[in-house]
A and B are shown apart, each in its own frame.
Chain A
Amino acid sequence: MDSNKKYWKGLEELNKTPEFVEKNKHEFAEPIPIEDVLTGGGLAGSTPRRDFLKALGFGVGAVTLAACQKVPVHKSIPYLIKPEDVTPGVANYYTSTYEGHAILVKTREGRPIKIEGNPKDLLAKGGVSAQAQSSVLDLYDVNRLKNPKKDGGDLGWGQTDEFIKSELAAIKAGGKKIRIVSSTITSPSTLAVIADFITQFPNTKHINYDAVSYTGIIQANQNSFGKAVLPHYNFDKADVIVSFGADFLGTWISPAEFTRQYVQNRNNKSLQSKKMSRHIQFETGMSLTGSNADVRIPVKPSEEGLALVNLYNAVSGKTLPGSKALKNNSTADKAIAIVAKELLAAKGKALVVAGSNDVATQVLVNAINSLLGSYGTTIDLDNPSRQYAGNDAGFVEIVNETNRGEVDAVFFLNSNPVYDYYSSKDIVAGLKKVRLRVSFADHNDETAALCNVVAPNHYYLESWGDDNAIEGYYTILQPAINPVYDTRQAEQSLLIWSDNAVKDYYTYVRNNWDKNLLSKGGLSGQSGWETLLQTGFVKAAANVSGSYTFSRDLNAVAQTILDHSNLLAGDGSKFELQLYQTVAIRDGKKANNPWLQELPDPVSKVTWDNFAALSPADMKNKGYQEGDVVTIDANGYSVTLPVLSQPGQKQGTVSVAVGYGRTNAGPVGDNVGKNAFPFFSLRNGTFQTSATAVLTATGDNSPLSQTQTHHSIEGRNSIIKEATFTEYLKNPSVETGKGKDHKDYSKNNLFWQDYDHPQYNWVMAIDLNACTGCGACVVACSAENNIPVVGKAEVGRRREMHWIRIDRYYSFNDNGKGGVTKETEIAKLEDLDHVKVVYQPMLCQHCGHAPCETVCPVLATVHSSEGLNQMAYNRCVGTRYCANNCPYKVRRFNWFNYWNDSRFENYLQNDHTLLVLNPDVVTRSRGVMEKCSMCVQRIQAGKLKAKIEKRSVKDGDIKVACQQTCPANAIVFGNANDPDSEVSKALSSERTYYVLEELGVQPGVGYQVKIRNISESEA
């Protein structure tokens, strides 16, 4: 129904007065006084209430609108012209070589971000050491030299070349000597370049100088068999290994390779075939190798020679003149007799090695090995190692030549004698008399600082080249990135300075391979070269490994050894100083690498420092507390270092690591620890690593930053399980009790629902008998997962960020009864020398019923359908309850913003170093919890690849970073839902147990019981 009603608001509207009509033309009946307000008195006048509300409304609205502006967008620009082989988001791998190992360099968008082992590498079969893992970081070191320098000033390459060429011409004309000093060069092409240089400048001599040298072994082989080589050792062929101070798992010659060999006779496969090698170690300080030995006998450096003489006597049945019983070390004395018997019983499968650099000692070792039939089996002299060819006397002679003013030019290639030569002042004095001093160092290191020209070398990831670690094994070095700075490869510099016909080193390498090396692997031409770049190496047919018999007279040798022993022993009032390399820092060349500095020493767990290791008994006698700073005086040199109580350290000895105390390494490595190289001495033409020392307390205390400060397992055998080999043979499930009375805690589900893992259930198996504790996995994990470096102070506050750590526990003997592991009982023990060590890699156990998951208030850590315990960093508010509730204590909290806090900027933070980050893993901000993700990014990548190929993930497709780098293959990762996977098989072994499984958390990482090859009386 229509309504005709009209409503009106006022008489004006009803009457439609002209004023009303006029006003209603506009939107607002009354004009808005904007103009009045903005001009005139509007702004100046007092604000009426309404205007105030308007202004308020406008203000709030405007601010709100302004706040709605989008967060600044950082645009990433795609390739305009995409390089053929670079797809953003997809990694490329290039074969290359690191210290003779064939490796793969993982690059993302043109940046090398990770070193991975080449699975076909003959030495370590895909295993990679901590050094190699960390080497990728040095590429981005902002402290590398960025261009050539002359007398401290910058110079172009052209002028540098001009200067050096004119100098060399003058020197050639003058007829004085030219010397090239390098650490051992294993590259055939580099050696060829140097040979060509020598042809051009005939008064040149090249000397290999290694800071830690193996001249003693090389000379001993020359004396014994007429072959001046470093033999290739086969620990895998040895059933009985006796080592006198050789840390072959940690630092000696080729540790990654030896680890692989050594573990082959001790891992699960070997145990299942009822076989396990036996390893006896005589040594002074507790080394990584000693800590893995079945039996470890502490001896003083002065007793080592005598012990070897006695061993020779026992093996040969003869008596060398001057030999006597080890009167102060009855344990060692008794052990020698037993060891000799065992060695003889394993004839042909025995190996004796010694870490000494003394020629006489090594000659005696050769004699013993010859009697044991080791040559041709466990020792190969015909396919020798080229890894160390240092010539101690040769280098000393160069120092003398410079001091005599006979040398006009000296070149230092990868060599830093001003830091690591024992008598640095001689070389400093000598260098002053040399006209042309050239260093190829990529840092302004201690030696480069004294050179007039520094011609910075490429980093190895920017270089062409090759390597030859063992006779017949040639690996290719190819660049993975364009040179970052204006550097030039040292070889190329030498080619240019010697006016070589080939001035381009790549061409030179190609020519060398075409002519000499490709054919060794049955390759040739362009296709051969391309195959080489894909495989990474060629292997020539091995020489027949001959057996050698030692036939020289040993009387004089024994006399030399015993003289030296007596000299060291003195009247017994002084300490005997042993110098060694740590597994992380080695000879100190990589001291500026924060990953290595923060990698805890496997035994002492100390980071960012060297220290004086004393036996607990000596600590007590001297009244030292841990961290007390002492002055160590030896060989006319002294340093002050904090002391560390090291169980297993021979009483009356002190061990100090070399490689620390750099002054020109860079901001990370400078003044970390003290330099111990000056304690070296020269004796019979080789550098010696022991001395007598006097210790005096300074009264200071400088706490060491250790990642572990409680060292015993407190009898908690659900964390660590170990058994003897005899027990294992009787009952393979001796400690785990699998089968009959083993309680299955996984069924203990009163409260919790079981999660479904329909397709994959990612789990891990770790063999405690294979793990040597070297720590390569720790660095690999840091590189893969962008784990921040926190520095000495923060580690000291127990805040290291490593997602995987290696727990190390000591246990002691009490009058023949083994296994004293409780703090209170250890305190009462007299004898802390005979210590057993067990290593346990510890990482997030990815529990089926994870205690961390239930307590998180915001669901930042949750269980995945594939058995992973996942962290959603963005959801984390940082209550830290999860870390408190983790029985394994594997969660790590970002106490600070490590990526944007000036206190940590030396490590990884600068724009340049950030390029090493793995783009598949986010960095974590302050206040966020993090932990092992089982390399979930690798799992995702593997699944994606499988999906693209329309298949499910195959066993072995996905390797997590720690597993991949482990030279011992101690870590196996895979899918538990696949009964045929390697990990399922490993976990079904009788030795498998789960740490703290009685808590019912259902850990996803199984450990395999540690087995020691000792008779029960020794246990």
Chain B
Amino acid sequence: MASHSESIIREPLITGKDITYAQITNDVLRPVENMPGRAWWIGFTVASLGACLWVFSVSWTFWYGIGEWGLNKTVGWAWDITGFVWWVGIGHAGTLISAILLLFRQNWRNSINRSAEAMTIFAVICAATYVVSHMGRPWLAYWPLPLPNQFGSIWVNFNSPLVWDVFAISTYFSVSLVFWYTGLLPDLATIRDRATGIRRKIYSVCSFGWTGSVKTWQRFETVCLILAGISTPLVLSVHTIVSMDFATSLIPGWHTTIFPPYFVAGAIFSGFAMVQTLLLVTRKVLGLENYITMFHIEAMNKIILLTGSIVGVAYLTEFFIAYYSGGEYEQYTFLNRFIGPYWWAGCMMYGCNVLMTQLMWFKKIRTNIPISWVLSIVVNIGMWFERFVIIVTSLHRDFVPSSWVMFYPTWVDVSIFVGSIGLFFTMFLLFIRVLPSIAMAEVKLILKSSSEQAKRKILEHGGHDKEQVEFYKESLTTFDSVEIADYEKI
């Protein structure tokens, strides 16, 4: 792609002096080709303990039954489906980055798409475990699949959103996996070429015999575009269908036509927050500041601000419609989010998702790494509470007041959720050890056009509008990976 010179007023996508293709390979593969450092080991120990907790508590549930959770006759879903929707939502950022941003030629995605896609896959795995473990009889988990069977002429219920959900999630997982792996091929070949011994054999199998010929590259790019085309509708459809689990029911608080766009926006919102959470740490620990720059951080914060505001508008719309519809039960449900016994959960939802993200209007906050990281966590907490409020607060006081209840989680509920986070991080930490966490091939594509050194060369060449140069220099001041002193002479 693009070997032309890029406008000087655009911020660089790669910083650092003397960055060469080899340098990129060396930087990105440092964690893959060397023994992990202490930070990794600490993180991995904590995460795998969490994963063990997950294995234990899920096994506990399988052994004794769903009764070990805090659910009851009125609240039939709580932390399980909250966790499911939360994880599926998180996955959406990866798909958006890899598919839609590719189609829109957003080159800055090249540095973050690999990790984001990996995150998608791990998040969907976490979500899928909830799908199975929340069933009363998980050993029959294959029954919602339309398989030919010998149970007579029993078929699945195509009217049920849960069946749509099965299709949606399985399609999403398989397409994401294929897309991710296809993108990995040239990078795997790079590792193969540098590796020796058994590692070389493994990576050589994994890289599917990549030769790096022009024809291979051409096909690679075509496949990526096709897969991006296939994935793009999934960004919208998957969470639309997840939202229909609620929207097609008649429970007040669920029975809402705004749910599909609202859920999709919320999913991208939470997904970018999770990418932010992961990459802000990764770039520091793995020393990838030159590739994941302040520009990326700020761009993602802008998306968080946009989607967060869309979610905010959706919240307001829900309240307005509840008021405007005159529906007795609907009105009560929305009032109950503030004045009912779960008012604190409602406050967490609206506070974290709407109020806190409005801080992103300020550039100082968008470009402040610690605050960005904290806010990304806040958004993830808020989005968990959004699903909790939608599910539990709507169910616990629905139509018939005699059945109104409170929901109290048990240690199993909490352990499964905490454990699923452990599982996620275990997989992510293994990922950054064995696969390149940045798409090297794609980053190299933009080195000549969009990197700091390329732009500097242009600047040194001179002949640019002074105003533009000043603008460019001004924008660089926010970067933590650029030495501003170098620009004083220019």
Contact = CB atoms under 8 A, between A and B. Distances in A.
A719 interface: yes
B162 to A, nearest CB: 4
A719 B398 CA distance: 12
Interface string B101-134: 0000000000000000000000000000000001
B400 A807 contact: yes
Interface in B47-98: 64-67, 70-74, 76-77
A93 interface: no
Contact of B137 (A800, A885, A927): A927
A926 interface: yes
Contacts of B332: 714
A880 B163 contact: no
Given A884-B251, A926-B136, A798 B72 contact: yes
A927 B135 contact: yes
Interface in A920-949: 925-929
Given A884-B251, A927-B66, A842 B402 contact: yes
A879 B136 contact: yes
Given A799-B73, A877-B137, A858 B144 contact: yes
B395 interface: yes
B405 A798 contact: yes
Interface string A979-1019: 00000000000000001100101000000000000000000
Interface stretch (A459-467, A503-511, A761-769, A886-894): A886-894
A881, A925, A996: which has the most chain B beta carbons within 10 Å? A881
Contacts of B154: 858-859, 875
B1 interface: no
A117 B249 CA distance: 42
Contact of A928 (B72, B136, B401): B136
Contact of B72 (A710, A799, A854): A799
A714, A824, A840, A851: which has the most chain B beta carbons within 10 Å? A714
B249, B251, B339: which has the most chain A beta carbons within 10 Å? B249
Given A709-B405, A719-B399, A999-B250, A880 B160 contact: no
A877 B144 contact: yes
A713 B67 CA distance: 29
Contacts of B161: 855
B403 interface: yes
Contacts of A719: 399-401
B221 interface: no
Interface in B291-349: 328-329, 332, 339
Contacts of A712: 401
Contacts of A856: 157, 160, 162
A927 B154 CA distance: 20
A696 B28 CA distance: 72
B223 interface: no
Contacts of A925: 137
A879 B162 contact: yes
A716 B137 contact: no
Nearest to A1000: B250
A857 B162 contact: yes
A857 B157 CA distance: 5
A885 B249 contact: yes
A846 B437 CA distance: 56
Nearest to B70: A797
B355 interface: no
Interface in A839-886: 840, 842, 851, 854-859, 875-881, 883-885
A878 B72 contact: no
Contacts of A799: 67, 72-73
A94 interface: no
Contact of A879 (B64, B67, B135, B248): B135
Range of interface residues on chain A? 35 or more
Given A798-B74, A851-B249, A877 B135 contact: yes
A896 B71 contact: no
A808 interface: yes
A545 B256 CA distance: 67
A809 interface: yes
A887 B136 contact: no
Nearest to B80: A880
A738 B210 CA distance: 78
Chain B interface main SS type: loop
Nearest to A928: B136
A716 B70 contact: no
B399 A996 contact: yes
Nearest to B406: A709
A260 to B, nearest CB: 26
A392 B137 CA distance: 58
B143 interface: yes
Contacts of B138: 927
B77 A880 contact: yes
A883 B135 contact: no
Given A880-B77, A885-B251, A887-B250, A710 B65 contact: no
A885 B250 contact: yes
Contact of A710 (B136, B144, B155, B404): B404
A878 B160 contact: no
Contacts of B141: 877
Contact of A855 (B67, B134, B249, B329): B249
A391 to B, nearest CB: 44
B298 to A, nearest CB: 42
B73, B154, B328, B403: which has the most chain A beta carbons within 10 Å? B73
Interface in A73-119: none
B64 A896 contact: yes
Nearest to A800: B73
B135 A807 contact: no
B404 A709 contact: yes
B399 A798 contact: no
Contact of B76 (A858, A880, A999): A880
Interface in A888-914: 888-889, 891-897
A927 B400 contact: no
A887 B71 CA distance: 17
B136 A808 contact: no
B161, B398, B402: which has the most chain A beta carbons within 10 Å? B402
B398 A887 contact: yes
B73 A889 contact: yes
B484 interface: no
A851 B395 CA distance: 15
A565 interface: no
A855 B248 contact: yes
B159 interface: yes
Contacts of A329: none
Contacts of B72: 797-799
A855 B65 contact: no
Interface string B409-447: 000000000000000000000000000000000000000
Contacts of A885: 249-251
Contacts of B249: 851, 855, 881, 884-885
A802 to B, nearest CB: 10
A424 interface: no
Contact of A893 (B136, B162, B405): B136
A716 B163 CA distance: 34
Interface of B: 64-67, 70-74, 76-77, 134-138, 140-141, 143-144, 151, 154-157, 159-163, 166, 245, 248-251, 328-329, 332, 339, 395, 397-406
5 contacts: A851-B250, A857-B143, A857-B144, A859-B155, A927-B66
Given A881-B162, A928-B137, 17 more contacts: A710-B404, A711-B401, A719-B400, A800-B73, A805-B402, A809-B402, A875-B151, A875-B154, A879-B134, A879-B162, A881-B245, A893-B66, A893-B136, A896-B64, A927-B66, A927-B137, A995-B400
Interface of A: 708-714, 716, 719, 794, 797-800, 805, 807-809, 824, 840, 842, 851, 854-859, 875-881, 883-885, 887-889, 891-897, 925-929, 995-996, 999, 1001
- 10 cross-chain pairs, A with B, having the tightest CB-CB distances, nearest first: A878-B136, A927-B136, A895-B67, A880-B76, A807-B402, A889-B403, A798-B72, A927-B137, A710-B404, A857-B162
